[in-house]
Amino acid sequence: MSTLRRRFVALGATTIAASLVLAGCAATEEETTSGSTGGDSGSTEQTLEGCDFYADYMGNEGTEVEIYTTIIDPEASLFIDSFGEFEECTGITINWNGSQDFETQIAVRAEGGTAPELAIFPQPGLLADMVATGYMVAAPQAVADSVDVNYTADWKNYGTVDGTFYAAPLGANVKSFVWYSPKTFADNGWDIPTTWDELLALSDQIASEGNVQAWCVGVESGVATGWAATDWMEDLMLRFQSAETYDRWVSNDLAFNSPEVLEVINEADKILRNPDYVGNVQAIATTSFATAGGGLVDGSCAMHRQASFIGGILKDDFGAEIVTPADTDVEGGITTFYFPGVSADSTPALGGGEFVGAFSDRPEVQAVQHYLTTTEWNNKKAADGGSWFSAHLGLRAESVADPVNKVAVEILQNASTFRFDASDLMPGAVGAGTFWTEMTAWFAEGKDSQAVLDAIQASWPAE
């Protein structure tokens, strides 16, 4: 996931090859003729015991497919494990190559004639840049058809460049969460809000009672300081403006300093710069996003808006226990509720994800690309553990071990609208530049909201 990837500095890079093991799939006497998913190979091969599901992928024995990605251990090992049966049954070896230099090296490899067969792009913008080089190939019809059936149209659109579909969705993350302690809420008799106005009313109630700070907020993240504030803006853009307006904002067809965006930052201001809710407003700029939610664990704050991944950080750094809303007696237990929309029946979701694009149209490459879009693989991967989940409509909640990720899957499958993190889609000078720095100044300097938006708009690259 792109936002998480760029905001944590990895200790190193890992390259792991998943080896081919053909033992365990014994041939039967029955012979079938089957081309791979990428096209009819015209060969005859045996159906392997227990491998019926993989019949359409056969005919490619002895081939290899490299998947180049940002995903390294420990998640990499879980991906490799999820390919085991596919490799045994098809005879295709999948070589997993995880590198934290992916963003810079993918173009170098393509230009140097050593492009991987498949690459997992952590953001649509990078995919589009790569397509523009001319080295990538469009996804085959079988992959497009599978994505049409198994994902909402929004997800297919993010893998589409200039009207051509290139990259199928893989993993996902959800940002439309408010984290809280069920015990703290139960002890104080607070109800979960289902609308924005109810969220503000609850914040007022908590502030007036004075026992707990309503919100814990932090946006410090080293060179990426400010990104957490942009996530608030993006979530509220989806709530107070239409999805079409959001898209126009991302492309700058709607100016960053327009009245629509000013309305949204003013709504954010009601919480984020309200000292009755957040305490010291200026300190938010120097409070780490990773530690800001620690107050949920010790009961000193009530709510923390952050993406699905923060649970792991609070668990590792503060001893939090990820629980369900019903676990109201667990000291240090935390869980989430959906960051509410303007009305209870409006359920937009903000998040991110990864997309698998190809540099080759060989049959074995198309077979692997297609397999990753199936219900079979998505449930197998989720059941292996880790923090991974996807927006696949066939992903069963029971396949996902983490209770928060179960909720994330439900949000994705039931979202009235899904949109990708806007700062990941905007030009780097804005999305990873002035949008971060100006939102930081909004806290640290008390900078006027309109002045913040004007400065961001002024930084938008000229056509």
CATH number, residue 35: 3.40.190.10
Q: Are 318 and 294 in contact (CB under 8 A)?
A: yes
**Rounded average pLDDT over 67-89:** 94
Whether residue 357 is contained in a domain is answered as yes
Q: How many domains does the chain have?
A: 2
pLDDT digits (tens, 9 = 90+) for 374-422: 999 999 999 887 778 999 999 998 898 788 888 888 888 888 888 999 9
Contact between 78 and 386 under an 8 Å Cβ cutoff? The reply is yes
What is the Cα–Cα distance from 82 to 195, expressed in whole angstroms? 39
Position 22 scores a pLDDT of 30
The pLDDT of residue 48: 57
Q: Please state whether 302 falls in left (phi above 0), alpha (psi between -120 and 50) or beta.
A: alpha
pLDDT digits (tens, 9 = 90+) for 359-386: 999 999 999 999 999 999 999 999 887 7
Whether 332 is in a domain gets the answer: yes
Looking at the structure, tell me whether residues 81 and 16 fall in a common domain: yes
Residues 303 and 193 in one domain: yes
AA identity, residue 363: P
For residues 222 and 307, membership in a common domain is answered with: yes
Q: Tell me: do 237 and 142 sit in the same domain.
A: no
The pLDDT value recorded for residue 301 is 96
pTM metric for this prediction: 0.76
Q: What six digits make up the tokens of 457?
A: 């708009």
Strand order in the sheet with 213-215: 213-215, 301-305, 177-180, 333-338, 321-322
Q: Are 195 and 342 in contact (CB under 8 A)?
A: yes
In angstroms, the CA 34 to CA 113 distance is 31
Residue 214 lies in a domain: yes
pLDDT of residue 8: 32
Give residue 113's pLDDT band: very low, low, confident or very high (50, 70, 90).
very high
Sign of the torsion angle spanned by Cα atoms 196, 202, 205, 211: negative
Q: Is position 55 within any domain?
A: yes
Task: Please check whether residue 463 lies inside any domain of the structure.
Answer: no
Alpha-carbon span 261 to 258, nearest angstrom: 6
Structural domain of residue 197, as residue ranges? Answer: 177-348+423-458
Establish if 195 belongs to a structural domain: yes
Residues 19 and 95 sit within 8 Å (Cβ to Cβ): no
Would the pLDDT of 253 be above 50?
Answer: yes
Inform me whether the pLDDT recorded for 38 exceeds 90. Answer: no
Query: Does the pLDDT of residue 43 top 60, yes or no?
Result: no
**Nearest C-alpha neighbor of 256 from the set 438, 25, 74, 12:** 438
Residues 300, 446, single domain; the answer is: yes
Query: Is residue 37's pLDDT more than 50?
Result: no
Compute the mean pLDDT over every residue in the chain, rounded to the nearest whole number: 88
Query: Which range, of 11-20, 92-101, 159-168, 247-256, averages the lowest pLDDT?
Result: 11-20
| Neighbouring C-beta atoms of residue 163, cutoff 10 Å | 5
d(CA 34, CA 374): 19
Which residues contact residue 348 at a Cβ distance below 8 angstroms, ignoring those fewer than 6 apart?
176, 235, 238, 239, 243, 341, 415, 416, 417, 418, 419
Mean pLDDT on 21-39 = 34
Residue 40 identity (one-letter amino acid): D
Indicate whether 122 and 266 sit together in one domain.
no
Whole-angstrom Cα distance, residue 357 to residue 137?
8
Same domain, 192 and 256: yes
Higher pLDDT, 16 or 340: 340
* 258-267, 335-344, 406-415: range with lowest mean pLDDT: 406-415
Domain for residue 274, yes or no?
Answer: yes
pLDDT above 90 as % of the chain? 73
pLDDT at 49: 64
More confident residue, 278 or 126: 278
Mean pLDDT of 285-304: 95
Nearest partner of 203 among 150, 106, 268, 289, judged by Cα = 268
Residue 317 to residues 14, 297, 314, 323, Cα–Cα distance (Å) = 25, 10, 5, 16
330 pLDDT more than 70? yes
Contacts 24+ apart (CB under 8 A), 3-11: 3/173, 3/175, 3/227, 3/231, 3/307, 3/352, 3/421, 3/423, 3/424, 4/173, 4/307, 4/309, 4/352, 5/70, 5/122, 6/224, 6/432, 7/221, 7/224, 7/227, 9/222, 10/72, 10/100
d(CA 67, CA 64): 10
Residues 292 and 438 in one domain: yes
pLDDT at 44 over 50: no
